[in-house]
Amino acid sequence: MKIVHAASEVFPYVKTGGLADAVGALAGTFADRGHEVSVFLPGYRLALDHPAASGAERKLRLKIEMGDRFASSDVYVLTPKKNLTVYLISREEFFDRRGIYGNGERDYEDNDNRYIFFAKAVVETLRLMEFKADIVHAHDWPTGLLPVLLRYAERRHGVTLALKTVFTIHNIAFQGVFSMRSFPRTNLPDELMGIDGLEFYGQMSFMKGGLLFADHITTVSPQYAKEIQTPDFGCGLDGVIQSRASDLVGLINGIDRAIWDPATDSLLPARYTPDDLSGKAVCRAELIKRMGLTAGFKGPIFGLVARLTEQKGISLLLANREFFVSQPVALIVLGKGDARFEKALKELADEVPGRVALAMRLDETMSHLVEAGSDFFVMPSLFEPCGLNQMYSQAYGTIPLVTRVGGLVDTVIDIDEQPNAGTGIMFAPTAEGLLSGLNRALKLFGNRAGYQAVQRRCMQRDFSWTKAAAGYEALYDENL
């Protein structure tokens, strides 16, 4: 099949979170399965400067209609492997900046224009190349308008650009809601300004475009597919999603074993397998050293790698500061995010030197070391569409502590519920829930044989992308 993916971030070129990992791995997996895969992403400065994009060549020049003006774009193309072509849509005005979505403090004010432009450039490239895709697959709000722009372009030019469109929700909490004043830049007909179109509480929602106009909707876990149909998790779009429930399916992400496998991981100081965990002890010692924990620390190390936002349950962690102060445990946090969380975590680290350590930066190498060197991985998310870290941690023999939400429910098995199959510790998304989880972890750590049995089960789980890819293929093949 000819499959086109479009997303605002794709590993390795540019990444702020799991979206990049998921799209990068999906595209690679489909290419390996013999499909002809094209991936579109904005030509951010970071992406064009990335060593992986060094072979990119300027292949096309586009003229994109943006309301009553035209904006040009250079399209850079590279072929990282067989069956895979990457298109970087560049335009200095929109993408030659330091950040991706914003400057670190706040989102760029022209994100509406940037992603309208990007989606239109994808459509225009497909049209100019007479591409005729079987599938155009858009991910999250930045590409929410792609399915609708594509169908209107087909009508306007009397061509077929794609047989089917698919829209994947990686996170319904980010919807791309802008003033209706942005609407004219889409050049879509006025009828789409209403409630049956892109209108969302008087504003314009990019995500609603994807939800209403894609032929199929997917999200990244079966549990999240159920949750987003409820007011508690739907972020105001639960009604729209319910109206398309028969076209919605939840397919769990996988992990890319070429990047996340402790037996081959070149970012680690030592490698290991379930049969020989000595390399994990080397990683632990290195983590203690690199993060400045007390030398020779023997207690359990809890690791956390995440965007420091409300979603990731940082407030639950902070509500349990007493646990980290009074118990003989260590906590390592790798993450950047909301200033209030960064500040409170710094205060905690200052209060508990040698046992609580922080690295407030994006650091791919350190993220692998935290996964490998910790004893437990903490993910107290308030909601979690899929979550990748709990799968990475199981692969690395680091027992996950997770809330019972979203994809965490679909990927972790509680050790008390299933003593012979359990791989982690699960709890309610509350401060008390997390505390009970931390205490259970402490107890498990004291029982070496029990801990190691869980650890081995974790490492034996299969989280490969093959399963997810087969699910998507079935969907791509399904008749409309």
Minimum Å gap between C-beta 223 and ligand ADP is 14
Determine contact, residues 317/348, Cβ cutoff 8 Å: no
Minimum Å gap between C-beta 378 and ligand ADP is 12
Minimum Å gap between C-beta 214 and ligand GLC is 16
User: Which of the residues 5 through 34 are near ligand ADP (CB under 6 A)?
Assistant: 17-19, 21
Tell me the three state secondary structure of residue 225: helix
- Burial of residue 183 (number of CB atoms within 10 Å: 0-12, 13-18, 19+): buried
Both tokens of residue 26?
């999906």
Please give the size of the binding site for ligand ADP, defined by CB under 6 A: 18
Residue (197 or 380) nearer to ligand ADP, CB: 380
Residue (168 or 229) nearer to ligand GLC, CB: 168
**Residue 404 contact, options ligand GLC, ligand ADP, none, Cβ 5-8 Å cut-off depending on partner type:** none
What are the CA-CA distances from residue 217 to residues 177, 207, 458 (Å)?
19, 11, 31
Minimum Å gap between C-beta 467 and ligand ADP is 17
Cα distance between the two ends of the chain: 16
Pairwise CA distance, residues 7 & 27, whole Å? 11
Pairwise CA distance, residues 14 & 434, whole Å? 33
Determine contact, residues 365/231, Cβ cutoff 8 Å: no
**Residue 306 contact, options ligand ADP, ligand GLC, none, Cβ 5-8 Å cut-off depending on partner type:** ligand ADP
Minimum Å gap between C-beta 195 and ligand GLC is 27
Q: Tell which one of 128, 362, 470, 474 touches ligand ADP (CB under 6 A).
A: 362
Rg (CA), the chain: 23
**Residue 220 contact, options ligand GLC, ligand ADP, none, Cβ 5-8 Å cut-off depending on partner type:** ligand GLC
Residue (385 or 437) nearer to ligand GLC, CB: 385
Minimum Å gap between C-beta 202 and ligand ADP is 28
**Residue 367 contact, options ligand GLC, ligand ADP, none, Cβ 5-8 Å cut-off depending on partner type:** ligand ADP
What are the CA-CA distances from residue 468 to residues 98, 221, 256, 308, 387 (Å)?
34, 10, 12, 28, 14
Residue 169 touches ligand ADP, criterion: CB under 6 A: no
C-alpha torsion 281→285→291→292, nearest 10: 150
Contacts of 282 (CB under 8 A, 6+ apart): 269, 270
**Residue 241 contact, options ligand ADP, ligand GLC, none, Cβ 5-8 Å cut-off depending on partner type:** none
**Residue 290 contact, options ligand GLC, ligand ADP, none, Cβ 5-8 Å cut-off depending on partner type:** none
Strand partners, 39: 5, 86
Residue 335 touches ligand ADP, criterion: CB under 6 A: yes
Q: Shortest CA distance to 176 belongs to which of 196, 153, 146, 221?
A: 146
C-alpha torsion 13→19→24→28, nearest 10: 180
Minimum Å gap between C-beta 20 and ligand ADP is 8
The 10 Å Cβ neighbour count of residue 34 is 10
Print the binding letters for residues 123-162 with ligand ADP: x by CB under 6 A, - otherwise. Answer: ----------------------------------------
Q: Phi/psi of residue 197, each to 5°?
A: -115, -125
**Residue 334 contact, options ligand GLC, ligand ADP, none, Cβ 5-8 Å cut-off depending on partner type:** ligand ADP
Residue 307 touches ligand ADP, criterion: CB under 6 A: yes
Residues in contact with ligand GLC by the rule CB under 6 A: 17-19, 22, 170-171, 220, 253, 384-388, 407
Q: Tell which one of 387, 397, 406, 422 touches ligand ADP (CB under 6 A).
A: 387
Residue 279 touches ligand ADP, criterion: CB under 6 A: no
**Chain residues that interact with ligand ADP, rule: CB under 6 A:** 17-19, 21, 305-307, 334-336, 362-364, 367, 386-389
